[in-house]
Structure 1
Amino acid sequence: MGQVKSRRSGLTKSKANADEKSNYDKTGIATKDDPACIIDILVDDVLLKIFSLLTVFEKVTVSRTCKRWHSLIREPHLWQTVDFWNGCNLHPPWQSQQDEADYTKKLANTTMRILQSYTDSSLRVVYLRASNWAIMRYLINKCPNLKTLSFLSPDQHTPSTCNNVIIRYFSKIRFSLPLQLEKLQLSFVADRKYERSGYIPKEFWIVSIRQFRNTVMPRILQCQNLRHLTLYKCNKISPEDVEILTSGLPKLQEICLLYFINAALEEILSIIVNNLQDLTSLHIITSQYLNNDGAVEYCINNILHELSHRRKFKDLHVTEAIFNPVSFATMTQALPNMTELGLYDCNCVTDEIMTIIARDLSNLRILLLNESGPYTDIGLKALQYHPSLQSLTICKEPRHRPKLSTVVIFETLLSLPKLKEAKLLLRRKSDQDIIFQPYLDELRAVKPHVRIFTQQQFVLGFCSTMYVGMDMRKFIFFP
């Protein structure tokens, strides 16, 4: 009897499988009569759009689902940009240098397998989380259309943890960067020290001048098509090195020096501006956001005068810079087509500067005033009804008195016709809980498409809340 029952159950299962197969057409795609597999009804274009929103590691997982998805995932346009930061555990709980080395090796092997299996000549942009010689050799020899190579995260805030290994590859005689590169982002964080309590970045060790001159700079100079160069934590670089770089890269248009403190900063900036006639973007971000030690203020009056002769210049971001209204107005009047301006922790942003921005920069889309002052409500009112401003970052209580009025802040935000994003830095909890909340509700009702970031400073760090429409979508804590 047991054998009979088992045979009957087997026949029942085979009949069920046959019924299930009948719901599929000859191509193996589910039909409309099968609600359990409704996702298979989606056309290829819709699935490709969904797959384009996935991270690299999610794409690899999805490719193992079925033959159809496996073939769709291999579409070349899905692999033009490869980001090995997004979707990867950036801060694993390793307790020793050996744990970090094992993690880096494992991630490098995974990276290599993904590159070999899914990418080909279609690869154009790659953000490397970790690297080894095999990866570098593959990018050089197998990716002739590679245009962007970055050892930073896409937000440019986190360096790769294996740059001491990368420096050794730069020193190899047979190593060369892809000569067709147009954008290169390098980090000069060579190693990290550890505390006994766990993995905490205590101190950064910087690449020496000799290493930079003998290994890094000759490789960069080989890329004659380079248009964008980012140097992360390059404090040891000298004005002579900058002179050689800017003179040897005639097509360079964008310079970004991140977390940069150098006693010769003013001289370095003068060399950059004087040598690069086609300069369009200049970012100088000091290490004030890493720590408050060693902050250096520098004067950029001469640089602003020189930039006024660069008709193509559109993007300026500076930290802890000193300038006067006369030199600033000289630049803004000569460059009315500027689209981005970032003034971080600048003590000279007065009402007059704000008036100059509103008067001369009618095409400005992004204005960042993080920790800058001492402009007042009068300067902020000058920005009202700006025709092009899409993103505005202001501090409710700058380090200089008097502090800004909540009413004026939201009147300004409501008056901007093209506003898409606003970031507000709050100093007290009462501002957000009592004063700000009614204005936030009104702003969300009038402009539901505007993204509003509010930051509140505590003793331990910053607490950031992002509002999108009527719902709170993201909560971030910055230690």
Structure 2
Amino acid sequence: MPPKKIKGAKKSLKVNSRTSPNVVSLNIDCLLMIFCHLTISERIKVERVCKLWQEAGRSGWVGFQSLDFKKSLWGFAFNTKVTITDKIIRTVLSRCGNYIREVKFPQFSNDPEILQLSISQRCLGTMWEMCPNMRILDLGFHRIRSSALSILANCSSNLEDFKLDLHSNISDDDLSTMFASNKKLKILHLFHNDSSNICKCVKDLPRNSIEEIMICNCHGTSTLEKIHGLFSSLLSVSPELQKFRKLSIHNITHNMSSWGLHSCAEGFNSVVLYSCTILCDKPTSNLLAFENLQELTFYGNRGDTDEFLIAVSVTCTKLNKLFLQACGSVTDRGLSAVALNLNLTKLEIIDMDNVCGKDLPKMHTLQYFRSENCRNLVEEYLAHMVLTAATDSRTFQLIHSYNDSQLSNRSYPPFNGKLLQAAAQVNGNHQNGYTITTQLCFQCRAKVGERKICIILDKQQKIVHPSKPRPKLKMNTDC
């Protein structure tokens, strides 16, 4: 027996087919919201659908302000081998060149996440012409010729952050021209400066804007003379460099006492020493010039010892931010000197296996503390830090994490719950006219091997009503 027909079924079907919305009926505003989440290759493909999508696709490039060469941005799979050519670059920049604010070339050519590049020097010149509003340019490992840099100097006058590998065929005069045309330059990073004399061009830096200079990978027989010349040039113009406050030095293989850095260090308030040789006979006398230093970063330097850290704590009395990573010779003796002599507001220690942190709770001015992969750091001392901060009624953030994945080949002690107990004890207490709330974040990812606890003591003006219950402890678990 055939099934009984339902009256009105066909009619209702027609009504639904007419009234139900579909992607073609979306207006241009909705399409713009969708297209802004697409990759570069997808943005170009949707332009071929219809005239409305073409119009929306072209207009959707307005928010596209950063261009790099990661496969995820371009829409290619991780294991795909794709080469970006001149034609592809011109096709993309013809749509978004006027909106681009940042261009970043890859730092490492063998990174599997990075696309392969086959861009000619002529195309680089075209890039500079098509991106007149570019503010940040990181050339990474990509080497350019003097002619391409000259085109950049003529086309762009808005650069604020410039990173250049001096393995390129760039002369001191080329850099001087570049600096002269970009009066808004704030950050300058120069890599591999063995093959070029960079001393004279420092005098052409924009006096009213430059804030940070980084010198990286200085090796070779003439490096010492170049560093002396660079710092002498800085010294000669430092009174005129009104905003120059940060100097980063990476991978210099000479004794600190031979750098001549102290001669122009008075104006610095931030110094980064990354994989350098900072051995010196009298660290206290060499550091006297850094009396105005407020931020200091040590990363894997030869000579990062307790004695050097003690000298820092005695001479750099204005220091309030300290970052230590991979300083294997630093123990609690050096960290205790920092805790007792300096009024730090921010302290970060990473890969510090010889530190247990017994004097960390004595840092009564600390507002931010982060520890990562410190094998012997005692959780009980960190819990004491939280309780002390609550007693002082100050804003305080503590981040304590390990990364014990199989790739790291390192084992760390498990969290024993002391931090959680301290946070629970603090939560909801009202002291000194302020309300202290505590937030906890615990992460345990089996694949990555990351364990992380984040405790935030947020000091707010006391607004407490007797009828309202006290805030409860918040715990977010992501497993």
- The TM-score range, normalised by the shorter chain, is 0.5 to 0.7
Could you say if the C-alpha distance between residues 220 and 461 of structure 1 is closer, same or farther in structure 2, counting changes exceeding 3 Å? farther
CA deviation vs aligned residue, 1:268-322 (integer Å, no higher than 9, x gap)? 3332222231242222211xxxxxxxx8332246634213432x54333342222
Deviations 1:194-221 (A, max 9, x none): xxxxxxxxxxxx55xxx33399647645
Query: Where does the alignment leave 5 or more consecutive residues of structure 1 unmatched?
Result: 31-39, 153-158, 189-205, 287-294, 398-402
Structure 2 residue corresponding to 1:87, chosen from 64, 69, 72:
72
CA distance in 2, matches of 1:170, 1:380: 49
Counterpart for residue 196 of structure 1? none
Instruction: Give the structure 1 partner of residue 187 of structure 2.
Output: 228
Secondary structure of 1:242's aligned partner:
coil
Q: In the alignment, what sits opposite 1:149?
A: 137
Report how far residue 443 of structure 1 moved.
8.3
Q: 1:329 to 1:231 in 2, by over 3 A?
A: closer
Show the 5 A alignment for 1:110-121.
110-120=88-98
Structure 1 segment 393-432 matched on structure 2, within 5 A: 393-397=349-353, 403-404=354-355, 406-408=356-358, 411=361, 417-419=366-368, 421-426=370-375
Deviation at 1:13, TM superposition (A): 5.0
1:330 CA drift (Å): 1.0
Identify the residue that residue 377 of structure 1 maps to in structure 2: 332
Which position in structure 2 is the counterpart of 1:283? 248
Aligned residue-pair number: 382
* Contact in 2 for aligned 1:345/1:370 (Cα 8 Å): no
Q: How far apart are 1:256 and its partner, in Å?
A: 1.5
> Which residue pairs with 1:126 in the alignment?
103
Cα distance in 1, alignment partners of residues 182 and 151 from structure 2: 19
SS in 2 for 1:396: coil
CA 1:457–1:357 in structure 2 vs 1: closer, same or farther (change >3 Å)? farther
1:273 aligned partner: 231
* 1:182 matched to 2:160: yes
Correspondence 1:196-345 to 2 at 5 A: 206-207=167-168, 211-213=169-171, 217=175, 220=178, 223-225=181-183, 226-237=185-196, 241-251=197-207, 252-276=210-234, 277=238, 278=241, 279-286=244-251, 296-300=253-257, 303-310=260-267, 313-318=269-274, 319-323=276-280, 324-333=282-291, 335-336=292-293, 338-345=294-301
RMSD: 5.2
Give the direction of change, closer, same or farther, for the CA distance of 1:151–1:388 in structure 2 (3 Å limit): same
Query: Which residue does the alignment assign to 2:346?
Result: 390
Alpha-carbon distance between aligned partners in 2 of 1:440 and 1:61, rounded to the nearest angstrom: 52
Q: Matches of 2:217 and 2:411 in 1, distance apart?
A: 22
Structure 2 distance, partners of 1:56, 1:219, is: 36
Cα distance, 1:72–1:112 mapped onto 2, change above 3 Å: closer
Greater C-alpha radius of gyration: 2
Contact 2:187–2:213 (CA<8 Å) still a contact in 1? yes
- Alignment deviations for residues 436-470 of structure 1 (CA, whole Å, 9 cap, x no partner): 67878998999995444546699x867799x9921
DSSP-derived class of the 1:317 partner: strand
Which residue of structure 2 aligns with residue 104 of structure 1?
83
Distance in 2 between the 1:69 and 1:421 partners? Answer: 48
What's the secondary structure of 1:235's corresponding residue?
Answer: coil
